[in-house]
Amino acid sequence: MAYSEKVINYNANPKNIGSLNKLDKNVGTGLVGAPACGDVMKLQIKVDDNGNIIDAKFKTFGCGSAIA
């Protein structure tokens, strides 16, 4: 399967990868994916006291297109 240049670039230079402090009361965490095929993503957001998203991080385990 050939990936587009955009997917290859996002895979090589991902943004917002990492984790937020899960003990912070303003951080929410979600997990999604298909463990059977190996693609799993953890997405975290941090909100301010008004409920506005002020930061977001993710970690993806899987193939290049899943990470991109």
Alpha-carbon span 24 to 44, nearest angstrom: 11
Instruction: Compute the mean pLDDT over every residue in the chain, rounded to the nearest whole number.
Output: 89
Number of domains in the chain: 1
pLDDT at 68 over 70: no
pLDDT at 1 over 70: no
**CATH assignment at residue 30:** 3.90.1010.10
Alpha-carbon span 8 to 20, nearest angstrom: 26
pTM: 0.70
**Residue 40 is part of which domain span?**
5-67
Q: What is the predicted pLDDT for the residue at 43? A: 95
- In whole angstroms, how large is the CA radius of gyration of the chain? 14
| 14 compared with 51, residue with greater pLDDT | 51
The string of pLDDT tens digits covering residues 9-41 is: 888 888 889 999 999 999 999 999 887 778 899
